[in-house]
Amino acid sequence: MTDVGLHTSELLDTALRVDARARARGPITGREYDVAAYPVHARSAKGSRIRDESGREYLDFLLGYGPIILGHNDDRINNAVIRCLVDGGANCMAPLWPPEQVELCNLLCEVVPNAESAFLLKTGSDATSAAVRLARIHTGREVVLRSGYNGWHDWSAPHPVGIPKSVRSLTQEFSFDDLENLEKLLLDNAGRVAAVMTTPFQESRTTSAHLAAIRDAAHRHGALFILDEMRSGFRLALGGAQEYFGIDADMATFSKAMANGFAISALTGRADVLDGLARTKISSTFFASRPEMAAAITTMRLLRDTSALETIRTRGEQLMDGMRPIFSSRRDVVSVHGYGPMPALVFAPDPAARAAADRFVEACVARGVLVHPNHQWFVSESHTSKDIDHALEVFDAAAAAL
C-alpha cells in the first residue's frame, strides 16, 4: 500500500487512467511503461539515493533534473523550511512580503555577476518568459532569437502544436555553435530583435570566446543578451556560467539548484532593464511564498560558505574521467560530454543508437543506477567517491548492452 492509499500494483494503472501527465508522457525507455525496466513512481529519496514505489533503491544521477545539488532530503534545508514555517508564523502573507524576499534578492545580487537587482518567481519558465517580456519593454522590439530548451510557454515551447503561428513567428531558434546562422537571423530581422537568449552550453563544452561572440552579435544589433542558467546556475560555479566563463549578460535566469529541490526561480540583471517591471504585470500569488525562499537562502549560503561545489566538481570529474575509457570503443554510438557537475552521455541521433541508449539505461537501472538516455545527468554533494566507483562498475557492465 502506498502513502496515498493505492496498492503499488494499482498505482500505474490508476495513473494511466486519471493522471493526464502519465497518459501524455510515455515511458523514459522502451515502447510501453514497464516498471521493471524503468521505475515510474518514487517513494522516497535521501542523499544520493532514490527509492521507487516498490522499495527498490537506486543511485540517482537525475536528481530531479538538476535541482538537488546538496543531496535529496537534506536536513539542513528541511530544517530551514521547518523553522520558517514554525517560527515564521505564516507562509502566504500577501499583499505583504516576507523579509526573506529582501534577503534572497540581496544574496543573489552578491553572488551572481552583473545582478544589480533580482526578481523572484516560481518556475524556470516563469523566469525566461519574464526576461523576454522585459527585453521587449526595454528595446521596444518583438522578435526573440533563442537556443536550447528555455521552457514550455508559447514563445519557447519546443513543439509548435497548439501555438498560434503569429506567436511562433516572433521566436526563432538559432544553432548554438553556428555564429553565421545567428548573424544571418539578426540581419534577416534587422531592427526587430529584442533579445538573444541561450543556455551557456548545450551537449558539448563551450568557450568564453564563443559566448562573448554571441553576446557581441546581440549587442551589435541592439538586442539584449540573456543567459538561461537554469541548469548551470549555482552548479557550474556559485555565480553560474557568468562567473565560470567570465561573461556578462544583460539578464540571467535561474531555478533548479537554487533551493535544493524547492520550487523557486529568479531573474537577475541590469536594474534599468528589470525596472521595466513597473510598466507591466508579472505577478503570481505564490511568487511571494516564504518556505522556498528560506530553502534558497540556506542552499545558496551553503554553496557559498562550504566546499560543496568543489566536492561536486571533483566527483563529477571522477565520473567523467572513468566514463571516457568505458565508451571510447563505441564512439560511433555514444560519447561523453559536459562538465563534471553536469555530465552528458550523448548518443547518436539515429534509431539504432537510440535503441542502444535504451538498452544501456535499462541495464544500469537493473543494477540500481538511475540514469537517462537523452538528458544531461547531475552530481550532488552527497555522491561519495565510492558511489562514483560503483556507478563506473555498473556502466562498464551495462556497456555490453550497447
Please check whether residue 65 is in contact with residue 283, taking contact to mean a CB–CB distance below 8 angstroms: no
Least distance between ligand PLP and beta carbon 306 (Å):
25
Please check whether residue 224 is in contact with residue 196, taking contact to mean a CB–CB distance below 8 angstroms: yes
**Angle made by CA atoms 111, 117, 118, in degrees to the nearest 5:** 75
Secondary element (H or E) of residue 225: strand 224-228
Q: Of 14 and 123, which has the nearer Cβ to ligand PLP? A: 123
C-alpha–C-alpha distance, residues 127 and 114, integer Å:
17
Least distance between ligand PLP and beta carbon 332 (Å):
28
Q: Of 228 and 387, which has the nearer Cβ to ligand PLP? A: 228
Residue with the CB atom nearest ligand PLP in the bound state:
124
Among the listed residues 263, 248, 332, the one whose alpha carbon sits nearest the alpha carbon of residue 294: 263
Q: Of 199 and 335, which has the nearer Cβ to ligand PLP? A: 199
**Residue type at position 393:** E
Least distance between ligand PLP and beta carbon 129 (Å):
9
Q: Torsions phi, psi of 136, nearest 5?
A: -65, -40
Number of neighbouring beta carbons within 10 Å of residue 169: 10
The cell 530531479 sits on which residue?
64
Least distance between ligand PLP and beta carbon 155 (Å):
12
Least distance between ligand PLP and beta carbon 67 (Å):
9
Among the listed residues 131, 151, 137, the one whose alpha carbon sits nearest the alpha carbon of residue 268: 131
Least distance between ligand PLP and beta carbon 99 (Å):
25
Please check whether residue 372 is in contact with residue 65, taking contact to mean a CB–CB distance below 8 angstroms: no
C-alpha–C-alpha distance, residues 28 and 5, integer Å:
25
Q: Of 202 and 335, which has the nearer Cβ to ligand PLP? A: 202
Q: Of 132 and 217, which has the nearer Cβ to ligand PLP? A: 132
C-alpha–C-alpha distance, residues 298 and 260, integer Å:
9
Least distance between ligand PLP and beta carbon 365 (Å):
22
Least distance between ligand PLP and beta carbon 65 (Å):
6
Q: Of 27 and 148, which has the nearer Cβ to ligand PLP? A: 148
CA 54 to chain centroid, in Å, comes to 28
Q: Of 44 and 123, which has the nearer Cβ to ligand PLP? A: 123
% helix, strand, coil for the chain, step of 5: 45, 15, 40
Least distance between ligand PLP and beta carbon 384 (Å):
26
How far CA 100 is from CA of 63, 96, 106, 117, in Å, comes to 26, 12, 10, 15
Contact residues for ligand PLP (CB under 6 A)? Answer: 65, 123-125, 128, 148-151, 199, 228, 230-231, 255
Q: Of 245 and 395, which has the nearer Cβ to ligand PLP? A: 245
Q: Of 293 and 363, which has the nearer Cβ to ligand PLP? A: 293
Q: Which residues pair with 51 in a beta bridge?
A: 44, 57
